[in-house]
Structure 1
Amino acid sequence: MSRTSNKEDITLIWFDSNVESNNHEIQTKKQLHQINDYVVFHGELKPCINFIQSIYNEKVFLVASTTDLSKILHRITSLSQIECIFIFNSEKIDHQHIVFEHPKLIGIYNKLDLLCLSIQEQVDSLEQHSKTFSFFDHDEYVTKNLSKQTADLLWFQFYRDVLFQLPYDEEAKREMIDACRFYYMDNAKELEMISKFENEYRSEEALRWYLKKSFLYRIISKALRIKDFDELYTFRYFMKDLSESLVREHQKLARSGKEILITYQGIKLTNDQIEKFKENEGKLVTVNGFLTTNILRSAAVNQAMKPSKQTNLTAVLLAIQCDLRQLNNCAIVADITQFNETSYEEQKEVLFDANITFRLDSVKKEEEIWLIEMSASNEGQLIKEKYIKDSHRQIQDLSIKILFGRLMCDMGQWNQSQHFFQHLLYDSNSNSEDLAKLERSLGEVLQWKGEWTRARKYYEWAYDRMTNSKPTRIKDSADILFNIGEITYLEGNYEEAQDYCERALAIHKEYYSSVNFDKSYSPNHQSSSL
């Protein structure tokens, strides 16, 4: 894991033009590290603004000094990356005259301890209210390409199945621990937790460790939110344990005799987010990550109604109905109350796995709170099954892992798709994957990226493997010849390109009743992102 990138959800930026003369910078940074791992100090305005604008996958907490307020104020009002603004009045200037109205302003603080306490409160609040929701129209599934219309939904349907099939051994555990130690090398608090995990962790305690909300919780939550399978692959040892724990708890709940379960979560949303829910009433909803809810409605309402210093947020109550008789082991919901060490009397928690889909039943205002009613559904599983059938009509007998890698490529996640296929090739001796299909898929990813020379090498290896196998796989080789023909054409070798395409055409005429090349995944025949 690279230390130059943020693996968590929050980037804390401290802007102070006098930062170099600040004798307390080291102590300040150390204190801030106890709250949030990723802390960046800036002393110049332009680099600071450029850095904020370069952030796509995190929320920014900005701390600015009172002396710098006039410099930065007009530059930050339109930056969507900023979640919270804190003013630090280190020089104890009388701030009664400061006029600064901004919906994301949290407060002005004279003491570092009070500032840190306020930042911690907002970190906790963001953790409660920061959810990414995606919406899907079920009626479009029958007629449109599933990989284009429902990429997010399919990614979450596949990821758990894939994790269960990845190598699970001490090497995978060591890889995860080493990566975490490298990433948190300057964070004594997390290094201590990593050592404790290394020495004390047992597989049956995966849920308890996840709910500690330490490095495991924060990195996995971020990886799920942004669909970063590179990161999840690094954490595959723990993720498999976590998934198995959730399945066990789901089965206990299913055997409990309870038929209908209603759970709640209190959150805060912007008006634009609420409008998005209203526009998609009746459609399917997914959440990018695990969703923790409460059986007690009153506790969820209290959470939603907590006062917020951010004036652009509105209280929302999610109410989710689960018919446990209809949900199977592919739609996981689990009672996690016993595993949460911070649990108190008003916490009777139920966790939904990231692969579950919900039907958005209604959105309505009730006095001071919005009520969003949803019901847990198996429809995501049905959509995945249809996608698998459609894919097998194009290329027969693709494994779940290869389908997932191709889906990531279809989404424009070319680097992640490439890394995943390379992992599968490296582990091919133990996972019995079809090497020719892996090499072909990796060739297609590289062709997408414009790395034509490397792509052609993988195509040629796949072609040789198919033609030298017993029996030979001549039918499967036609699409590879066509892809090589595309590359040679793009390189300007038109006669060679024609030869490859004619060879592909001859095979199709011999083995198929009609000529139908698999162009659904070819870089020159579909768009790169959804």
Structure 2
Amino acid sequence: MFYSRTIPISIVPSLNFPTGEIPLQNLNKEQASFLWYQLLIKVLKRIPSTSVSHNDLLTKCRLEHSNNNIKLGEIQEFEDTYNSDNVIAWYTRDAFLYRLINKALKEKDIIVMYKFRFVLIDLHDRLVQLHGAYINSLKSHESTISELVVFHGQGLTLTELQNLKGNIKGRISMNSFLVASTSREIALLSAGNGSGRQVVESVFFEIHCPIMNYFTKPFAHIQQYSYSKTKDEILFSIGTVFHLAFVETLTDQLWHKALEIGENCLEFDDTAIRLVLPNIVKVFEIKHDYVTALKYMTRFLRILRKDPTVTWDDLATAYFNIGFINYCRQQRFLGIDI
């Protein structure tokens, strides 16, 4: 794992909401972004996955790599062999899928994520399946382990590094699936030696995970399921929140950051999910990208209308959001042609 294995990280904003209340209309950009990542898997699970979405993903990948026979071979292999049981192997493989997922997550490209939502859901669900047994195995360890310590190395831009340095004792969110290692040496190798400092800073993360009874985001030991079964790896699900204990220089060219896994800021019930699902277009509205927002919301409405379990509230909310987007585009009387 080298710089190509970097994942997006963000500062967790203050969310001082009364219990059970999530005032979406009052969220600022930073808060909306955090909630977006926290709810991503639950939101995607509410959208039916079909063979059409699988084909859309493969078509997009083939177009992007039309001149690369190696990548085209990987895509064909993915089409022929992928299933929910080998999703961890595909994610940990240095291939097209890992890059596609993390590029889309970093850019909040909901259209791309919509196309490969089945992979994100499968990956999260697999961690849920493995998590309980893994925690129990740690608790039953003969040396009575009180915490798990793992390591992760990657490059960060100077801006990202400065943001983290200014958030000591605060919280950060991993906005993708984080692969960490029980080996300090492997993580140091992944961090790099600082030779790319004009572009990225080499950062070594030391992650402490107290063995608790309950975690709101799953993680598990994946060595026997990963593509390279020789590495002792731990995989954390998307949106895992950590407390940032300290930031220091390990060497002149390497930064050392200590993290501790923490509980998420909020619990979300079905009411919150129902509110946030159509409001995922807020990501685009913040950017004033109303064309993309309308494209996604219209597609979502088509899906809702074909879903026999859809409620009138869901439909009404979807129509309202389309109307609001058109209002923002100053096309208040534009009809909906779906």
C-alpha distance in 1 between matches for 2:155 and 2:211? 28
Q: Which amino acid aligns with 2:207?
A: I
Shift of 1:438: 1.0
In the alignment, structure 1 residue 442 sits paired with structure 2 residue 329: no
What is the aligned residue count? 321
Quick one: structure 1 residues 299 and 405, their matched pair in 2 at CA, closer, same or farther if it must change by over 3 Å?
same
DSSP 3-state at the match of 1:256: helix
CA contact (8 A) 2:240 2:261 kept: yes
C-alpha distance in 1 between matches for 2:283 and 2:66? 34
Shift of 1:275: 3.5
DSSP 3-state at the match of 1:334: strand
Quick one: structure 1 residues 274 and 326, their matched pair in 2 at CA, closer, same or farther if it must change by over 3 Å?
farther
Output one character per residue of 1:118-150: Cα deviation in whole Å (capped at 9) or x when no partner.
xxxxxx63214x443321343766799335441
C-alpha distance in 1 between matches for 2:15 and 2:58? 45
DSSP 3-state at the match of 2:243: strand
In the alignment, structure 1 residue 289 sits paired with structure 2 residue 169: no
CA contact (8 A) 2:14 2:31 kept: no
Q: Which amino acid aligns with 1:448?
A: C
The gaps in structure 1 that reach 5 residues or longer are 1-123, 390-396, 462-530
CA contact (8 A) 1:289 1:353 kept: yes
Q: Corresponding residue for 1:432?
A: 310
Q: Corresponding residue for 1:320?
A: 207
CA contact (8 A) 2:8 2:175 kept: yes
The gaps in structure 2 that reach 5 residues or longer are 140-145
C-alpha distance in 2 between matches for 1:408 and 1:324? 38
Percentage of pairs with the same residue = 23
C-alpha distance in 1 between matches for 2:213 and 2:292? 35
TM-score, normalised relative to structure 2: 0.81
TM-score, normalised relative to structure 1: 0.54
RMSD: 3.1
CA contact (8 A) 2:87 2:123 kept: yes
CA contact (8 A) 1:292 1:350 kept: yes
C-alpha distance in 2 between matches for 1:271 and 1:422? 38
Name which of 138, 143, 167 aligns with 2:14: 138
C-alpha distance in 2 between matches for 1:146 and 1:406? 10
Output one character per residue of 1:20-76: Cα deviation in whole Å (capped at 9) or x when no partner.
xxxxxxxxxxxxxxxxxxxxxxxxxxxxxxxxxxxxxxxxxxxxxxxxxxxxxxxxx
Q: Corresponding residue for 1:301?
A: 188
4+ long deviations beyond 6 Å = none
Q: Corresponding residue for 2:296?
A: 420
In the alignment, structure 1 residue 331 sits paired with structure 2 residue 209: no
Shift of 1:222: 0.3
Shift of 1:439: 0.7
In the alignment, structure 1 residue 228 sits paired with structure 2 residue 109: yes
Q: Corresponding residue for 1:355?
A: 239
DSSP 3-state at the match of 1:337: coil
In the alignment, structure 1 residue 193 sits paired with structure 2 residue 69: no
Quick one: structure 1 residues 379 and 446, their matched pair in 2 at CA, closer, same or farther if it must change by over 3 Å?
same
In the alignment, structure 1 residue 373 sits paired with structure 2 residue 249: no
Larger radius of gyration: 1
DSSP 3-state at the match of 1:277: helix
Q: Corresponding residue for 1:262?
A: 149
Report 1 or 2 for greater relative contact order, CA contacts < 8 Å, sequence distance ≥ 6.
Answer: 2
Shift of 1:325: 1.6
C-alpha distance in 1 between matches for 2:248 and 2:30? 28
Quick one: structure 1 residues 361 and 429, their matched pair in 2 at CA, closer, same or farther if it must change by over 3 Å?
same
Q: Corresponding residue for 2:40?
A: 159
